[in-house]
């Protein structure tokens, strides 16, 4: 009895699903939805392994029937997720899931009972269109269709919602695609059982490949938040990267105006997104304060762009403030970054941070004075606490 999916293809796919399952179980197992998804992946991993019955051909028929039972538990776990997405009370999720698991167990028991002749003959349920195969197909397909119908309705509703982000639409669209792939074998099997189509498929490849495709695609989608979490912990997430790009500018401008630095969080640590917002606000406030210290006769380089010229204005202002000169109230403000929202302001500050090292070095060279370093140790200590 051969495996429906070649081992060279099945092994890495099963390994991938298993790694995602273990990773999510270890790091993303807090919410009810995550736990149900993890249960579904775990049952699906076992089902995929049992589908590779070529590793034990003598027990291939039993492995096939047990794999159908595992897939039923995975399907009913996904049904629990669909109910939550549809608005069911999360507090009753455990009680509902026990009922869904009982349905999966009952359907699995039916498959094992009607599959007894197939096990004795060493054949697969569904290999021939007989009454036992029809009963087992109903026991498997009825829960699968119910879950797919519920999941498709929820996903479509979220997909067309105006509040859905582009990334969420990609995820929901991919999940709908996975459902479509999983359902692709149902019409063909119906034609086969009705006698309208005759195909020699003793290994039930028509069932195995869609099942593998659905599980692997779903695991890939569920791996995205896992990779995001790992990237965040490793400091590779977007917010941390942007914070690192802003650090030189933030250090210099807040060093010149330390009083605008916001109070740290009570535990001394901020989430990356919160820290990025704090740095953006602190840099903006510092720039507004320092702009008043820029000399009126500030030399502007014709070759420099507006961002480079403004960076030099701030560098001159830092030096002027460090030398004890008072604010120049008549200093122009037209060079300051203008924005109407936080995202635009962040992009402008990133451009300023990119031009900052060169502008600072040029101003320091013109004024023949070292870079101000007072209070830098304390600032870096604060920064380290919030990292």
Domains of the chain, residue spans: 7-234, 238-386
Q: What is the C-alpha to C-alpha distance for residues 67 and 45, in angstroms, rounded to an integer?
A: 10
Closest C-alpha among 72, 82, 124, 74 to residue 103:
72
**pLDDT of amino acid 210:** 87
Which residue shows structure tokens 């991919």? 174
- In the predicted structure, residue 48 carries a pLDDT above the cut 90: yes
The pLDDT tens digits for 285-333 are 999 888 888 876 666 665 568 888 888 889 988 988 888 887 875 544 5
> Mind listing the pLDDT tens digit for each residue in 189-246?
666 666 666 667 677 887 888 899 999 999 999 999 998 888 877 767 788 888 889 9
Read off the tokens for 229.
Answer: 């979490």
Question: pTM of the predicted model, to two decimals?
Answer: 0.69
Q: Are 126 and 207 in contact (CB under 8 A)?
A: yes
The reported pLDDT for the residue numbered 369 is 52
Neighbours of 238 (CB within 10 A): 13
Fold of 7-234: Rhopdopsin 7-helix transmembrane proteins (1.20.1070)
CA 290 to CA 302: how far, in whole Å? 23
Q: Could you read off the pLDDT of 129-149 as tens digits, one per residue?
A: 788 888 988 899 899 999 989
- Kindly state the tokens that stand for 333: 């403000």
Higher pLDDT residue, 163 or 45?
45
Question: Buried b vs exposed e over 141-160: b needs ≥16 C-beta within 10 Å?
Answer: bebbeebbebbbebbeebbe
pLDDT of residue 379: 36
pLDDT tens, residue by residue, 250-275: 999 999 989 888 776 655 566 778 88
- Read off the DSSP letter of residue 184: T
Above pLDDT 90, what percent of the chain?
36
Instruction: Compute the distance between CA of residue 340 and CA of residue 203 in angstroms, rounded to an integer.
Output: 62
d(CA 179, CA 175) in angstroms, rounded, equals: 6
Cβ 125 vs Cβ 64: under 8 Å: yes
pLDDT surpasses 60 at 39: yes
Query: Quick one: pLDDT at residue 239?
Result: 83
pLDDT at site 110: 95
Q: In the predicted model, is pLDDT for residue 36 greater than 90?
A: yes
Q: What is the pLDDT of residues 149-183, one digit of tens each?
A: 999 999 888 888 888 888 888 888 888 888 888 77
> Which pLDDT band, with edges at 50, 70 and 90, does 334 fall under?
very low
| DSSP codes of every residue in 64-111 | HHHHHHHHHHHHHHHHHHHHHHTT--GGGHHHHHHHHHHHHHHHHHHH
Structure tokens at 265: 């969080």
Note the pLDDT of residue 375: 39
User: Is it the case that residue 383 has pLDDT exceeding 60?
Assistant: no
pLDDT band at 79 (very low <50, low <70, confident <90, very high): very high
The answer to whether 50 and 124 have CB atoms below 8 angstroms apart is no
């Amino acid at each position: 009895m051969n495996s429906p999916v070649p081992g060279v293809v099945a092994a890495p796919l099963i390994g991938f699903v298993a790694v995602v399952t273990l990773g999510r179980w270890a790091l993303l197992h807090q919410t009810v939805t995550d736990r149900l998804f993890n249960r579904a992946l775990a049952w699906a991993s076992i089902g995929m392994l049992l589908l590779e019955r070529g590793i034990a051909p003598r027990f291939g028929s039993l492995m096939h029937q047990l794999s159908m039972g595992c897939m039923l538990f995975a399907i009913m776990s996904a049904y629990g997720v669909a109910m939550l997405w549809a608005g069911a009370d999360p507090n009753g999720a455990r009680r509902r899931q026990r009922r869904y698991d009982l349905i999966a167990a009952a359907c699995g028991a039916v498959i094992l009972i009607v599959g007894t002749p197939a096990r004795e003959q060493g054949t697969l349920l569904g290999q021939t269109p007989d009454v036992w195969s029809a009963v087992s197909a109903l026991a498997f397909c009825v829960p699968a269709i119910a879950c797919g119908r519920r999941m498709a309705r929820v996903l479509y509703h979220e997909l067309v919602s105006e509040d859905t982000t582009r990334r969420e639409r990609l995820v929901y669209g991919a999940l709908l695609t996975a459902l479509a792939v999983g359902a692709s074998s149902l019409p063909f099997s119906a034609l086969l059982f009705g006698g309208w189509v005759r195909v020699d498929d003793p290994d039930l490849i028509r069932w195995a490949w869609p099942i593998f495709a659905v599980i692997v695609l779903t695991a890939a989608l569920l791996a995205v938040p896992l990779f995001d979490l790992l990237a965040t912990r490793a400091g590779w997430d977007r917010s941390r990267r942007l914070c690192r790009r802003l650090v030189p500018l933030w250090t210099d401008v807040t060093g010149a105006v330390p009083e605008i630095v916001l109070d740290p969080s009570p535990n001394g640590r901020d989430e990356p997104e919160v820290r990025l917002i704090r740095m953006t606000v602190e840099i903006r406030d510092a720039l507004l304060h320092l702009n008043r210290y820029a000399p009126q006769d500030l030399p502007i380089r014709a070759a420099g762009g507006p961002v480079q010229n403004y960076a030099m204005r701030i560098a001159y202002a830092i030096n002027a403030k460090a030398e004890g000169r008072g604010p120049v109230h008549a200093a122009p403000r037209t060079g300051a970054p203008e924005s109407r929202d936080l995202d635009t302001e962040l992009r402008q500050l990133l451009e300023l941070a990119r031009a900052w090292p060169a502008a600072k070095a040029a101003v320091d060279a013109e004024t023949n004075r070292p870079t101000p370093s007072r209070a830098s140790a304390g600032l870096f200590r604060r920064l380290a606490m919030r990292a």
